[in-house]
Amino acid sequence: MNCPTERVIRTPDTGDLMSEYPAHVEIEPRVHLVRGLNGARFPEANSLFIDDEILTLVDAGSDVRQVTSTMKDLGYRLKELDRLVLTHFHIDHKGHAEQLRQISDCEVMCHPLSVKGISTFQGWAEECGITDHPSFNEWIPLLIEWMPLLSSDYKITIHFQNMKPISCGEVELIPLHLPGHTKDHTCFGINGLETIFLVDIDLTSFGPFYGNLVSDIREFKHSIKRVIDLSPKLGISSHLPNPVTDNLQELLEEFLGVFDKRDAEILRRIYDGHNTVEKLASLPTIYPRIPFEPYYFFEECMLELHVQILLEDGVIRQERNEFEIARR
């Protein structure tokens, strides 16, 4: 099937009603957004297809049918893909990379810090920090049933370097290493920095995700501020169905502001007696709900990063493994 079944989708941030969901949208000459299914919601994500001398796909989280349909519409077959560029190690971004590599024999590029998390399931789990969780062995079959591609091994053939342009012909991709979401998280400028593939600085209503061992709130905030300082005119999210042009700076500021809102909510709940990470996670505090048991791990990871900073800044203190407000 070349295109997904037509359906009505309401985008989470804009409320726009879409009666169609085309596989791809041209962003600028030779650059196409390949939409992930289900509004590009996790475990799907958008990809970029560069129709140039070197046929290039940035990220492989979009369903293969979406990639196939895009390439067919532009006069190509899947096996003609020349290059895959992966932004970081998360499964919704490396996704179908190995399947596409085997079909096309394309080169696969990533940041040097991505190699461990991309290459194997064990590497992914260690980078997430989930291997030390007491329920890890019980979760393995659940995780692989939910995200079958996790069980794949992936081959990386070459690394890109921060700020060193990747030429596709007329189009240049500029790697912008912007860690925090993960240590390897990389955005891409397209023919300069006015158009940026924001990847998981994704502008969704959920806000930033940093629920891994290799996540860092301070770095994430700094990375978002770097993007704001670049003042891009167009931003492409991995998890919104359309590029963002209107109010992009305002949306980036709002996305950054989610960290402070979460701090405030954590402090409010500590004051109300939810004074351990476990109690905060059980509510939950960051996720609106916990749909799947491993989400407790991600919730706890993010909470631990928040309370660590609140402790370091003297906003809370810890007595007998319980938090209390030091100053408000």
- What are 92-108's pLDDT values in tens digits? 999 999 999 999 999 99
User: pTM (2 decimals)?
Assistant: 0.92
CATH number at residue 319: 1.10.10
What is the rounded average pLDDT for all residues in the chain? Answer: 92
Residue type, 133: H
Is the pLDDT at 261 greater than 90? The verdict is yes
At residue 266, the pLDDT reads 98
The strand pair at 107-110 and 158-159 is best described as: parallel
pLDDT in tens, 72-82: 999 999 999 99
Looking at the structure, tell me whether residues 239 and 312 fall in a common domain.
no
The span from the CA of 326 to the CA of 249, in Å, is: 34
Looking at the structure, tell me whether residues 264 and 240 fall in a common domain.
no
Q: Is the residue at 95 inside a domain?
A: yes
The span from the CA of 282 to the CA of 279, in Å, is: 5
Q: Is the residue at 4 inside a domain?
A: no
Region 3-9: mean pLDDT is 25
Roughly how many angstroms between the first and final C-alpha of the chain, as a whole number?
Answer: 57
Give residue for tokens 């003042």: 231
The strand pair at 24-28 and 31-34 is best described as: antiparallel
At residue 169, the pLDDT reads 98
Looking at the structure, tell me whether residues 233 and 265 fall in a common domain.
no
Q: Is the residue at 252 inside a domain?
A: no
Dihedral sign of CA atoms 174, 185, 47, 105 in order: positive
pLDDT in tens, 284-319: 999 999 988 889 999 999 999 999 999 999 999 999
Q: Is the residue at 136 inside a domain?
A: yes
pLDDT in tens, 165-190: 999 999 999 999 999 999 999 999 99
Question: In the listed set 246, 267, 292, which residue is the last one of a domain according to the structure?
Answer: 246
CATH number at residue 43: 3.60.15.10
At residue 20, the pLDDT reads 67
HSE value, Cβ hemisphere, 13 Å, CA-based, for 313: 12
Q: Is the residue at 241 inside a domain?
A: yes
Looking at the structure, tell me whether residues 286 and 190 fall in a common domain.
no
Question: In the listed set 191, 221, 246, which residue is the last one of a domain according to the structure?
Answer: 246
Residue 53, token pair as written in the block: 């001398």
Dihedral sign of CA atoms 175, 176, 177, 181 in order: negative
Looking at the structure, tell me whether residues 86 and 152 fall in a common domain.
yes
Looking at the structure, tell me whether residues 283 and 200 fall in a common domain.
no
Residue 197, token pair as written in the block: 């593939």
pLDDT band at 142 (very low <50, low <70, confident <90, very high): confident
Looking at the structure, tell me whether residues 276 and 195 fall in a common domain.
no
Looking at the structure, tell me whether residues 240 and 261 fall in a common domain.
no
Question: In the listed set 246, 268, 302, which residue is the last one of a domain according to the structure?
Answer: 246
At residue 146, the pLDDT reads 84
Looking at the structure, tell me whether residues 29 and 129 fall in a common domain.
yes
Q: Is the residue at 183 inside a domain?
A: yes
Looking at the structure, tell me whether residues 119 and 34 fall in a common domain.
yes
Look up the domain containing 19 and give its range.
Answer: 9-246
Region 30-45: mean pLDDT is 94
pLDDT band at 17 (very low <50, low <70, confident <90, very high): very low
DSSP secondary structure letters along 102-159: HHH--EEEE-GGGHHHHH-HHHHHHHHT-TTSTTHHHHHHHHHHHSGGGG------EE
Dihedral sign of CA atoms 126, 128, 131, 132 in order: positive
Please give the tally of structural domains in the chain: 2
Looking at the structure, tell me whether residues 181 and 308 fall in a common domain.
no
Q: Is the residue at 314 inside a domain?
A: yes
pLDDT in tens, 188-227: 999 999 999 999 999 999 999 999 999 999 999 999 999 9
Residue 17, phi then psi, degrees to nearest 5: -95, 125
Q: Is the residue at 100 inside a domain?
A: yes
Strand partners, 235: 196, 244
Looking at the structure, tell me whether residues 230 and 89 fall in a common domain.
yes
